[in-house]
Amino acid sequence: MILKLYNIAIKLYAKIIQLVAYRNKKAKLWVLGRRRSFAYLEETCAHVNDVVWIHCPSLGEFEQARPLIETIKRDFKKFKVLVTFYSPSGYEIRKDEPLLDYVCYLPLDTRENARRFLDLVKPVFTFFVKYDFWANYLIELQHRGHKHYVISAIFRNNHYFFKKKGAWMLNILSNIDHFFVQNEDSKYMLLTKNITQVSHVGDTRFDRVLDITKNVKDLPILDSFKGCVPLFIGGSTWPKGEEILVEFMKHYGKRFKYVVASHEIHESAIRKFESLSNFEVLRYSKANAQNAKTADLLVIDNIGLLSSLYSYADIAYIGGGFGKGIHNTLEAATFGMPIFIGPKNEKFQEAVDLMSLGVATEIKSAQELIAHCDRLLVHPTKWDDLKTKSTNYVESNAGATRKIVKHVFS
């Protein structure tokens, strides 16, 4: 009965998205992208054997999947990798990713779509990254006996399926072949529900960010821009955090050089940010070795640079903590620096860990950010200690990908 209600709700949700799509660009991409999924699969991988299917809700989960994908492509060459996305923010950025053999939107989670999808793809192994558990796809995988796993998962006792009304979904999850979880608390939560096929291996993002440090892009403009002045970077920022950064910059002036990389690059958003600042502002797309020397604030107006930008930074503010949740703190941490984040961070294990080490600090206002930075400036040995702790934390938590591969592919 509950599954029937779920299927009705899924179809109703799709109708609502279609209505919203008339006025919302992201919803329009969501709708239009799925219209093409089955035709794409029929044209590409329908007659291919040895497909590994990896489902990523969005871009962040793709970064978690990347170390596993790279290992499969390097060490198990007979397999072809299909990645599906739920969100346009993942698909639109990675649809031409050369690492992947096939990539498309995941069709809506109906019984008919799940059957058709698996008839076409016939995956040897399936990996769901972190969450995004779709009932009909899971049921169909289980009916067919396909091996399916969850990687980099994290569970809390307030999750829907741990409550009485979510028991039907927990029953479906209990038949997943194996859960590879980020922490002991998640393992404990599953064990208490009699789900014993679980291993605490950590988060594959640690492997990803360590790989990033080995492949950092040299950015000559940043060398000219930074000079000998400490660099403060705002990474994946949103409007609330940018307001705090403006007050911070007004307070410190030329004590720092500043880089801001907004989460969403829109001309209107960049102009608004530029108007809030009294600095000499330079867009990265207009920068060269000469004009970068005199600029105070470098605004990043393209994508794909953030991880390399962190390699030049001395302090970072990571955005998102005033909305649904913070963005990736590990990319900054792996380069060794104090990190500041907004208050909505409790669902992110790495943020909790970094705060316990003193590397990450929660801030709610510009005044708090200024106070903490004042302390760093007058205690340089403390600053150096945090840099070391930051780097060591990432290095000590690497290795999840190797453990997953050993369990599944051997």
CATH number, residue 239: 3.40.50.2000
CB-based contact 314:337 (threshold 8 Å):
yes
Site of tokens 């950025």: 93
- Are both 134 and 221 inside the same structural domain? no
The residue segments making up the domain with residue 225 are 216-396
C-alpha dihedral sign at 251, 253, 259, 265? positive
The pLDDT > 70 percentage for the chain reads 99
Indicate if 136 and 238 belong to the same structural domain. Answer: no
- Structure confidence at residue 178 as a pLDDT band (50, 70, 90): very high
- The Cβ of residue 27 has, within 10 Å, a number of other Cβ atoms equal to 17
Instruction: Please indicate, yes or no, if residue 121 is contained in any of the structural domains.
Output: yes
Question: C-alpha 305: how far from its chain's center?
Answer: 15
- Segment 302-319 shows an average pLDDT of 92
Averaged pLDDT for residues 39-63: 94
Query: Is residue 308 in a domain?
Result: yes
pLDDT of 1 over the 80 cut: no
Q: For residue 89, with 0-12 CB atoms within 10 Å meaning exposed, 13-18 middle and 19 or more buried, which class applies? A: middle
378 lies in a domain?
Answer: yes
For residue 1, tell me if it sits in a domain: no
Same domain, 82 and 157: yes
Tens-digit pLDDT profile for residues 225-241: 999 999 999 999 998 99
356 lies in a domain?
yes
75 and 117 together in one domain: yes
Q: Answer yes or no: do 139 and 155 share one domain.
A: yes
Residue 148 confidence (pLDDT) above 90: yes
Mean pLDDT value of segment 397-409: 96
For residues 133 and 271, state if they share a domain: no
pLDDT value at position 114?
97
Longest dimension (CA), the chain: 68
Identify whether 153 is part of a domain.
Answer: yes
**pLDDT above 80 (res 365):** yes
Q: Which residues lie below 8 Å from residue 96, measured CB to CB, with a gap of 6+?
A: none
Q: In the prediction, which pLDDT does 62 show?
A: 95
pLDDT grade for 276, boundaries at 50, 70 and 90: low
Q: Decide if 77 is inside a domain.
A: yes
Same domain, 361 and 402: no
The residue with greater pLDDT, 216 or 271, is 216
**294 part of a folded domain:** yes
HSE (side-chain half, CA atoms, 13 Å) at 234? 31
Query: pLDDT tens, 329-360?
Result: 999 999 999 999 999 998 888 999 999 999 99
Chain segment 209-267, per-residue pLDDT in tens? 998 888 888 999 999 999 999 999 999 999 899 999 999 999 999 999 999 998 877 77
197 plus 282 within the same structural domain: no
In this structure, the answer to whether residues 127 and 48 fall within a common structural domain is yes
Binning pLDDT at 50, 70 and 90, where does residue 277 land?
low
Alpha helices in 36-110 (DSSP H): 37-44, 59-75, 88-94
Q: Are residues 252 and 140 in the same domain?
A: no
- The answer on 232 and 126 residing in a single domain is no
Q: Provide the domain count of the chain.
A: 2
- Whether 302 has a pLDDT exceeding 90, the answer reads no
- Asked whether residue 186 falls in the same domain as residue 245, the answer is no
The CATH number of whichever domain residue 153 belongs to comes to: 3.40.50.11720
pTM: 0.85
